[in-house]
Chains A and B, each alone.
Chain A
Amino acid sequence: MADEHGRKWDRCLADTAVKTVTGISVGIVLSVLFFKRRTWPVSLGSGMGLGMGYSNCQHDFRSPYLLHGNMVKDQ
């Protein structure tokens, strides 16, 4: 259980890094293709990536405390 915490952090950081880099690259591509080499798509992409990563991380850390409900269909 103690390791779980560490593992969560690992996942979290890796995921965030990947997302950020992806965002940056997408931003770069878009900026080169459509937006005449401006910088704002890059920052947008990186921000999006970071945000997604952060959100995932938070969700992951909260997961033991989140209650999941199942809808029971009436047969």
Chain B
Amino acid sequence: YSLSPCYVSLALYKCLYGRAHPTNLQHHRHYTSGESSGAAKVVAVGLVTLGSSIGGTVLYAKWDPKFRTAVEKNIPYSDWLLGMALGPNPYSPVTAHKKQVSKFITPKYPTTPPDHLNGSLLCSLNSVLCFCVSEECKECHHHGDTPVPAMVEAVDSMTEGPLKERPAEEVTARLAQQEQEDQDILASVSASLEESLASSAKTTLQAIGAQEAALQAIGSHTHKLKEAMEAEVPPDQKSAQWRDLETALAERRSTVNDAGAALLKARDALDSLRSVIDKAKESKVAAVQPLVLAAEENLHSMVVDLDQAVTKVQSAESEAKIVSQYTELVNEAKRQFQKELSSLTPEIQANWKGLTGKLSADDLNALIAHAHRRIDQLNRELAEQRVREQVHIEAALEQQKLEDQKALDKAVHTATQHSKEEARLEQERKLSELREVMEAEMRTQLRRQAAAHTDHLRDILKVQEQELRSEAEQMLEQETHYRQLTQEQLDNFTLDMNAAYARLKGMEEAIDSHVIAEEEARKAHQLWLSVEALSYTLKTAGSDLPTKPLESAVQAIQDSCCNNEFALALASALPEESLRRGVYSEASLRSRFNSLRSMVRRVALIDESHNSLYQYFLSYLQAALLFEEKQAMPPTQLTNEDLDPFKLLSYASYCLEHEDLELAAKFVNQLRGEARRVVQDWLTEARLTLETRQVVTLLSAYANAVGLGTTQAP
């Protein structure tokens, strides 16, 4: 109720009156003088307040850092002020972060020369530790990488201990591997040998064929030449013969060239084969040797054939040379004779056989004289020749001897080579055969030893078997005897056990059924006890105080009958208020009602529609003037006039006196209007009490029923 207008008006009044009254002048002077210096005072007071507040804040911030951070957070520029006054804040999170970052950035590690292993290691370690922002650290990274693996390798090699004996599996593995390798090598070598052998054989055959062809050509040419020289055929056939000769000559030349080329190729192939054989000889595999041997023999035979063919061709060529020389000589002589003849008788042609009638006697004489002269000349030459014959023959013989010697040397040389080669091959063949024989013998010896060893083992094992068998039989006898005894004992035990077990089972079943029955009984008892507790709490109501809150009792009920739906439903049907606050007892309600009654009487006339203060006055008047019975027995049926508030009150009072709260509440419920509002609280309390009581009675009835039920045997 604000009395401020009152105060204000009074103050104003006083002020106004004060002006007129001289007694209050002092006051007013004081006020008026105070009012002019009031501004300065206000300013001064304000400044002092501000200063003291700031000083107080600073002092408190010094003492409490959390407060300081709060102030700094909320008031701008305060951190500057506080920093100036007190120094930096030790607990601020921002500065701590800055400090940490600076600690990491500031130290710069010195760059050591990278050729030193330690230095580079250190550098690499440092580069791992520090933030590698600087370039020096990057270099360290690069340099540090390369020495580190080297060191690692050195360490690894140092940690390798002395060589240990390889285990058996490894040995067999290695042997198998080696065998495999040998097989591979053998296969490859044989393949290469065969290949080269085939190619060289082919080329050699080709060469030999070419040589034979050359031989043939040379032979035919020589023969043709001889024919051409000696035979006396008519001129046209002679020219044909000469043409044939030329073709034969050309053929001979080409075949000889081919033979030469083929020979070269063959020799190349043979050289390659020899090199392959040499390479194959270098390999250590024993099984290669016979292959190599066979290849060498093949090579030797091919070389021999080739040489033979070449010698044949050479002899044919030398013969052809002789024949050609002979032809040349003959041609020379013929030309000489022609020249002489032509010089003597120029008009006579070469063919003087058919000139019988043309020649004169002089010509004939001249011709005969020339012929005689020629004969003389030739006789003289012949005599000379006979004289010089010996010398010539000796010289020719000497030359021939030299040539023969040369040829012989060459032949001897080739023959020796061939024989050497053959001898070597023979030796190697013998060696390989011997080796095989020795291998076979060694194998048989080893087999014999192995067989002996197995026999020995077998005998020993047999003896051991006998001994062990006898021992085992003995032990078995003992065992069976013991087992029999134990089996008998076991049987007896089993029988006893079965009997005992059966009895135990029976007892257990009986106990279980008892336990179940007892459990049920216990639960019923618990329920009954908790319900009793609940109903007891109802009695703890004081005269005007509610009971204790029923919550604990209800909780106890709920715990004790957790599997009983009916009891649970009932327990949860209790109203909230009663659980939390408790309910009032009937007596208290009754007393309250009596006090309420007068109130209700006073507002009996007020209903919902029109209730001005005048109505209130009238209602009060009515209450003062109207008298009704204190208690009137309610009829069994209510009529309309019974709904008068006063009557209702008397009915309710009667019911309350007769302990019938329910009926009283029903009557009170019929009040309308303001009267109803007045009794609303009482009504809710009454309802609460009634509900609680109903639930409690139901629960106790249920508990009693259940309790009775469990006393009977199931």
Residues of A in contact with B (beta carbons under 8 Å apart)? 1-2, 4-5, 14-15, 18, 21-22, 25-26, 29, 54, 57-58, 61-62, 64-65
Contact = CB atoms under 8 A, between A and B. Distances in A.
B680 A1 contact: yes
A1 B9 contact: no
Contact of A57 (B13, B595, B613, B678): B613
Contacts of A14: 1
B679 interface: yes
Interface string B214-253: 0000000000000000000000000000000000000000
B702 interface: no
B678 A22 contact: no
A29 B5 CA distance: 13
Contacts, number: 47
Nearest to B614: A58
Contact of A65 (B596, B608, B616): B608
A41 to B, nearest CB: 14
Contacts of B611: 61-62, 65
A1 to B, nearest CB: 4
A15 B599 CA distance: 22
B681 interface: yes
Given A2-B679, A18-B1, A26-B9, 7 more contacts: A1-B677, A2-B681, A4-B678, A15-B1, A25-B9, A62-B611, A64-B677
Contacts of A22: 5-6
Nearest to A6: B599
B432 to A, nearest CB: 117
Minimum-distance CB pairs A-B, first 3: A1-B681, A1-B680, A58-B613
A68 to B, nearest CB: 15
Contacts of A62: 611-612
Contacts of B678: 1-2, 4-5
Interface in B1-41: 1, 3, 5-6, 9, 13
A65 B681 CA distance: 18
A29 B9 contact: yes
Q: Is the interface of A mostly helix, strand, loop or mixed?
A: helix
A58 B612 contact: yes
Q: Is the interface of B mostly helix, strand, loop or mixed?
A: helix
Contacts of A57: 613
B123 interface: no
A26 B6 CA distance: 9
15 contacts: A2-B596, A2-B679, A4-B678, A5-B674, A5-B677, A5-B678, A14-B1, A18-B1, A18-B6, A22-B5, A25-B6, A29-B13, A61-B611, A61-B616, A64-B677
A58 B679 CA distance: 21
Interface of B: 1, 3, 5-6, 9, 13, 595-596, 599, 603, 606, 608-609, 611-613, 616, 674, 677-682
Contacts of A2: 595-596, 599, 678-679, 681-682
Nearest to B10: A25
A54 B1 CA distance: 16
Nearest to B6: A22
A72 B560 CA distance: 54
A1 B603 CA distance: 13
Contacts of A21: 6
A12 B600 CA distance: 19
Contacts of A58: 612-613
B677 to A, nearest CB: 6
A14 to B, nearest CB: 6
B687 to A, nearest CB: 14
Nearest to A54: B613
Contacts of B679: 1-2
A9 to B, nearest CB: 9
A72 to B, nearest CB: 26
Nearest to B680: A1
B252 to A, nearest CB: 129
A5 B603 contact: yes
A18 B9 CA distance: 14
Contacts of A1: 677-682
Given A29-B13, A54-B613, A61-B613, A5 B1 contact: no
A18 to B, nearest CB: 6
A61 to B, nearest CB: 6
Nearest to A28: B13
A71 B358 CA distance: 177
Contact of B599 (A5, A61, A65): A5
